[in-house]
Copies of this chain bind each other. A is one copy, B any other.
């Protein structure tokens, strides 16, 4: 039902075909995020037409709304959101982190630049979660009800959602956590990995284990060894990083993972990071970055990021990108998109999202092509030189 076939390697970077119950995913691939069973502003036809055959939905969001039981009753995520290709669901661990350290440490997927040294000054922000060895207690941000999420619950919810690739429940630590805390947390994540494996029954789902361990080499290596020794279909690299640390973590961890199994990088989608992650052996990545940028009027192009509300685009007849085949670039000028954003027209967000995802899809195709023809390094250099 699952088969991961490596096609070509160049250094640690590789292309592969990942067979799933809902079709073949060609990697390295960027996986658009369909948070609540929709890639924000787009319908499934839009996403397919752009060229993607896979999306990642968020367990945390869907368990709260509409609830995994309801999704199951409706025939599972594929049917519910009209998606015929492979679907990933994350474990909910990262969203729980966002409700906890994400708030008290004021951090996110990539560490904020102005807070790189030491522990950020604490303010009145309070964690909304309580972590114990059994799981995490938190309140729904929608209706305030108390929820206790154990690894077994995360797996059950992901089984009900019915994605092809699911993740073990983990704790994501903050770059501002003390090493002692990260050690304790890693123990928990490892215990939860075993619980997740034991709880998982569906044969048509591949369960991925998640490597954690903060920015510490010894902890990351310990985690890489521990998780890769378990009977997972594949692996996720989790964490909240500094920019530099993300690369180090991959350098420390990837060589410890079995070559023949797929590797997913959770929540990474900035162009420069994608190149570095792929170069280090990552097969798939998901991130809200390109879609969120689009909704806020930032367009990706081969020469960098464009803020479409900039006054210089007001009378600009050109498309966002000359040779782009997306709906926006084929039909509309920069001036029209500028107008849509200025006038708060929802269509602007949709067109910008379509463009940014088209850009990502094209980039990943180019990356695969250049791995296959042995020119990845040159391509990366050339691309990033122009992309400023």
- A residues sitting closer than 8 Å to B (CB atoms) are 36-38, 40-45, 61, 65-66, 70, 73-75, 80-82, 314-315, 317, 327, 331-333, 335-336, 338-340, 342-343, 345-347, 349-351
Contact = CB atoms under 8 A, between A and B. Distances in A.
Contact of A339 (B37, B333, B345): B37
Contacts of A73: 315
A343 B40 contact: no
B342 A42 contact: no
A337 B297 CA distance: 26
| Number of identical protomers | 2
Given A315-B70, A332-B82, A335-B74, A65 B346 contact: no
Contacts of A338: 66
Contacts of A336: 37, 74, 80-82
Which A-B residue pairs are the 10 nearest by beta carbons?
A82-B331, A66-B339, A38-B347, A36-B343, A41-B346, A65-B343, A38-B345, A74-B335, A346-B346, A80-B336
A294 to B, nearest CB: 12
Nearest to A336: B80
A37 B335 CA distance: 12
Contacts of A351: 43
Contacts of A343: 36, 61, 65-66
Given A44-B331, A82-B336, 15 more contacts: A36-B339, A36-B345, A38-B345, A38-B347, A41-B346, A41-B350, A45-B327, A65-B343, A66-B314, A66-B338, A73-B315, A74-B317, A74-B335, A81-B332, A346-B350
A347 B43 contact: yes
Contact of A42 (B65, B314, B339, B347): B347
Nearest to A66: B339
Contacts of A350: 41, 43, 346, 350
A70 B338 CA distance: 12
A70 B339 CA distance: 10
Contacts of A44: 331
Contacts of A81: 332, 336
28 contacts: A36-B339, A38-B345, A40-B347, A41-B346, A41-B347, A41-B350, A42-B347, A43-B347, A45-B331, A61-B343, A65-B339, A65-B343, A66-B335, A66-B338, A66-B342, A70-B314, A70-B315, A70-B335, A74-B317, A74-B333, A75-B317, A80-B333, A81-B332, A81-B336, A82-B331, A82-B336, A346-B346, A350-B350
